[in-house]
Amino acid sequence: MRKIYIFDTTLRDGEQSPGVNLNMQEKLEIALQLERLGVDRIEAGFPAASPGDLAGVNAVARAIKNASVIGLARSREQDIDAVREALKGAQDPCLHLFLASSPIHRKYKLKMSKEQMLETADKAIRYAKKYFDKIEFSPEDAGRTELDFLCEVTAMAIRAGATVVNIPDTVGYLNPSEFGNIFKVLKENVQDIEKIQLSAHCHDDLGMATANALAAVLNGADQIEGTINGIGERAGNTSLEEVAMALETRQDFFQAKTSLVLGEIARTSRLVSKLTGMVVPGNKAIVGANAFAHESGIHQDGMLKEKTTYEIMSPEMIGLKESTLVLGKHSGRHAFREKLIDIGYELSDEQVNTAFSKFKDLADKKKEVSDEDIRALIEEKLIET
């Protein structure tokens, strides 16, 4: 089974979510939980952005023992020096350098020709190589870069000394077959490509970040970058919990696995949500409140007979106690009877039938019927009889 390295950027791209600002203590708390989750690499921040971010990256660098700690830098010496400073004390430091490569970014943002872009990145990687053994290089907006030029950029990065080349779909523009094809083309055409790891970094503007990351895996990517709960710029990044569970659940298809401790997923998700203030939507895959909740009578009946009828993974796998059967207007008698037993009522068939029809009346008026509602309904019924 091929190992896929997990590069977590919750503390960098995730913190770029509008309205999110983590202090040093909060960064540290999340980083320690990411270490328990077993991520291979933690991008702790962008040290040149502010003295506070530099201090936060340094606190993470000193505390983390079982993951590589990474700092982001533009392709300029002051940024690289800020990462050197921030990663002092790190067990396994790595620099993440980036420079945009797409025609739109070259023309409007950088005002650079292709040659100037190549020269600037080459110079930055060679400067950084004096201080770092591990360097990841990202051609920003690789997703909208001419494929032949992306091959040239990748070859330049390898020659200059990068150890990982990351392919960012910075604006979440590509679909899985296009994104997967980039990896195929790089693998087939770039000299010495086997000397480095290839990484995928996707954004979710069109809702395809996880699918694109998995397409990269199918085409030979060694590393996936993403965040917990999929937080990040605009619509966010690839959700790492989705990638990990997709690879775990469909090992037969992907033939690849992460080394994440899956039982830590729910706890990590809750912590990131609490400290960033970004609420996880109920229907979010894997970690949403409804991801293991069943409302309809047909589904609940199936679940009570055999869980695999309606669950492709178990909540226990990600560290949750159990699935929930939510009582609402679609629920059936089977789940209702189980709920009664659960909350301590042993009723005759006739009593269950009467209570069930009262429950249905109530369920028509409420979105969800709670244990308290059912108790009230039964007590009232018992008093009546």
Binding site per annotation, positions for Mn(2+)? 13, 201, 203, 237
- Secondary structure (3-state) at 73: strand
Closer of 153 and 355 to ligand KIV (Cβ): 153
- Locate 179 and state its tokens: 């994104």
User: Does 136 interact with Zn ion (rule: CB under 5 A)?
Assistant: no
Residues 34, 39, 40, 45, CA torsion sign:
negative
Closer of 120 and 324 to ligand KIV (Cβ): 120
Closer of 212 and 300 to Zn ion (Cβ): 212
Which residues, in sequence order, are bridge partners of residue 322? Answer: none
User: Does 13 interact with Zn ion (rule: CB under 5 A)?
Assistant: yes
Of the residues 140, 152, 204, 295, which one makes contact with ligand KIV according to CB under 6 A: 140
Site for ligand KIV in 174-193 (CB under 6 A): none
Piece of the chain touching ligand KIV by CB under 6 A; list 33-41, 166-174, 204-212, 288-296:
166-174
213 near 197, Cβ under 8 Å?
no
- Cα 105 to its chain centre, rounded Å, is 26
User: Does 53 interact with ligand KIV (rule: CB under 6 A)?
Assistant: no
Q: Which does 138 bind (CB under 5 to 8 A by kind): ligand KIV, Zn ion, none?
A: ligand KIV
Closer of 33 and 138 to ligand KIV (Cβ): 138
Residues 365, 366, 370, 372, CA torsion sign:
negative
Which residues, in sequence order, are bridge partners of residue 97? Answer: 73, 137
Closer of 12 and 84 to ligand KIV (Cβ): 12
User: Does 297 interact with ligand KIV (rule: CB under 6 A)?
Assistant: no
Piece of the chain touching ligand KIV by CB under 6 A; list 75-83, 165-173, 253-261, 310-318:
165-173
- Locate 325 and state its tokens: 């059967």
Q: Strands 93-100 and 324-325, how do they pair?
A: unpaired
Q: Strands 197-202 and 256-257, how do they pair?
A: unpaired
Annotated binding site: 13, 201, 203, 237
* Per-residue b or e along 314-323, where b marks 16 or more CB atoms closer than 10 Å to that residue's CB: ebeebbbeeb
Site residues (CB under 5 A) for Zn ion? 13
